[in-house]
């Protein structure tokens, strides 16, 4: 595995791979890698000839300076994991390398970016669009892999790719990886205290127990209200929102969409740790 820190060297390595006719897979990450990331890497390894994993804690997507400061960073362990997973390139640039000048681009991300995380974290998705568009342009992947824990982020990235004309690039969404007790894997989980870690799986349990509502004819609004009530009832949880949205448009639903999946997206604070998760309410 080659560890590349500069955009110039990455451009060279990618041009070489392309010349050799290799299929390039990109897994963008912010490091602090866990089994969820590795499942994306393994899928990229199965489906592509040349796998690039980027590790970059992107400052432009943090609307909260404390969150950026405390975001876990484990570069040496990350590189060990990637080497063991058979990755070709770990791209680990500095902020100066990625943003030699401030990135002032504002993306017209539309309605998918206006709800939920978009409403709660102003500028967050524009920052995601900035970094992912740069990574797409540099790594020129045939396929890029993203985890469905950040369900809304995938929709935003698809919109950015459409706007920027990344037409030949396949965006591959991969299922959420969970711990044995149901907690969605996240780099932020390491910041939970033992007590918080013990209650955190209730998020998934509460969401999952609401899935039957659709078949029972309970409306999306009543389902969401019941989920929020249950979450608020757990001592130590401060739910920020729970919204049931159309899985394609990400817009809130008055009624279950005929023949289409809905997704319930949640954010819960445990102390100063902000966790997100989601669950599908399948059409059938």
Going by C-alpha positions, the residue among 208, 202, 198 that lies closest to residue 231 is: 202
Binding part of the chain for ligand PAF, among 26-34, 104-112, 159-167, 201-209 by CB under 6 A, reads 26-34
The Cβ of residue 272 has, within 10 Å, a number of other Cβ atoms equal to 10
Q: Can you tell me which of 4, 10, 112, 131 binds ligand PAF, judged by CB under 6 A?
A: 131
Binding part of the chain for ligand PAF, among 3-11, 99-107, 127-135, 225-233 by CB under 6 A, reads 127-135
- By CB under 6 A, the residues from 141 to 180 that bind ligand PAF are 150, 153
The Cβ of residue 182 has, within 10 Å, a number of other Cβ atoms equal to 15
Examine residue 60 and tell whether it contacts ligand PAF (CB under 6 A).
no
Examine residue 128 and tell whether it contacts ligand PAF (CB under 6 A).
yes
Examine residue 132 and tell whether it contacts ligand PAF (CB under 6 A).
yes
Closest approach of Cβ 29 to ligand PAF, in Å? 5
Q: How many residues bind ligand PAF (CB under 6 A)?
A: 10
Nearer to ligand PAF, 81 or 131 (CB): 131
Closest approach of Cβ 131 to ligand PAF, in Å? 5
SS3 per-residue string spanning the chain: CEEECCHHHHHHHHHHHHHCCCCEEEEEECCCCCHHHHHHHHHHHHHCCEEEEEECCCHHHCCCHHHHHHCCCCHHHHHHHHHHCCCCEEECCCHHHHCCCCCCCCCCCCHHHCCCHHHHCCCHHHHHHHHHHHHHHHHCCCEEEEEHHHHHHHHHHHHHHHHHCCCCCEEEEECCCECCCCCECCHHHHHCCHHHHHHCCHHHHHHHHCCHHHHHCCCHHHHHHHHHHHHHCCCCCEEEEEEEEECCCCCECCCCCCCCCEEEEEEEEECCEEEEEEEEECCC
Examine residue 39 and tell whether it contacts ligand PAF (CB under 6 A).
no
Q: Can you tell me which of 29, 186, 230, 278 binds ligand PAF, judged by CB under 6 A?
A: 29
Nearer to ligand PAF, 58 or 278 (CB): 58
Binding part of the chain for ligand PAF, among 9-17, 24-32, 68-76, 162-170 by CB under 6 A, reads 24-32
Closest approach of Cβ 183 to ligand PAF, in Å? 17
Place of tokens 């570069």: 75
Closest approach of Cβ 117 to ligand PAF, in Å? 10
Known catalytic residue at 37: yes
Examine residue 265 and tell whether it contacts ligand PAF (CB under 6 A).
no
Q: Can you tell me which of 10, 24, 41, 58 binds ligand PAF, judged by CB under 6 A?
A: 58
Examine residue 28 and tell whether it contacts ligand PAF (CB under 6 A).
yes
Nearer to ligand PAF, 121 or 214 (CB): 121
What span, in angstroms and rounded, lies between the C-alpha atoms of 195 and 158? 37
Going by C-alpha positions, the residue among 175, 174, 173, 168 that lies closest to residue 141 is: 168
Nearer to ligand PAF, 231 or 276 (CB): 276
**Contact residues for ligand PAF (CB under 6 A)?**
28-30, 58, 61, 128, 131-132, 150, 153
Residue positions annotated with a catalytic role: 37
């Amino acid at each position: 595995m080659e560890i590349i820190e500069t955009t110039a060297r990455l451009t060279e390595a990618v041009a070489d791979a392309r010349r050799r006719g290799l299929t390039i897979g990109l897994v963008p990450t912010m490091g602090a890698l866990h089994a969820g990331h590795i499942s994306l890497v393994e899928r990229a390894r199965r489906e592509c000839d040349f796998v690039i994993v980027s590790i970059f804690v992107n400052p432009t997507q943090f609307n909260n300076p404390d969150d950026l400061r405390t975001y876990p960073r484990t570069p040496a362990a990350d590189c060990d994991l990637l080497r063991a997973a058979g990755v070709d390139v770990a791209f680990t640039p500095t902020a100066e390398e990625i943003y030699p000048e401030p990135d002032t681009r504002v993306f017209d991300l539309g309605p998918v970016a206006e709800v939920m995380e978009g409403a709660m974290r102003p500028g967050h998705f524009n920052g995601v669009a900035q970094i992912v568009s740069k990574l797409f342009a540099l790594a020129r992947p045939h396929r890029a892999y993203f985890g469905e824990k950040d369900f809304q982020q995938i929709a935003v990235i698809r919109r950015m790719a459409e706007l920027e004309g990344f037409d030949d690039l396949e965006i591959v969404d991969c299922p959420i990886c969970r711990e044995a007790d149901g907690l969605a894997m996240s780099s932020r989980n390491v910041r939970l205290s033992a007590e918080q870690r013990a209650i955190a799986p209730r998020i998934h349990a509460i969401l999952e127990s609401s899935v039957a509502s659709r078949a029972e004819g309970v409306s999306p609004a009543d389902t969401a209200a019941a989920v929020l009530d249950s979450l608020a009832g757990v001592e130590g949880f401060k739910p920020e929102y729970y919204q049931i949205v159309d899985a394609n448009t990400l817009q809130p639903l008055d009624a279950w969409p005929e023949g289409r999946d809905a997704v319930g997206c949640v954010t819960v604070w445990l102390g100063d740790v902000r966790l997100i998760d989601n669950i599908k309410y399948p059409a059938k």
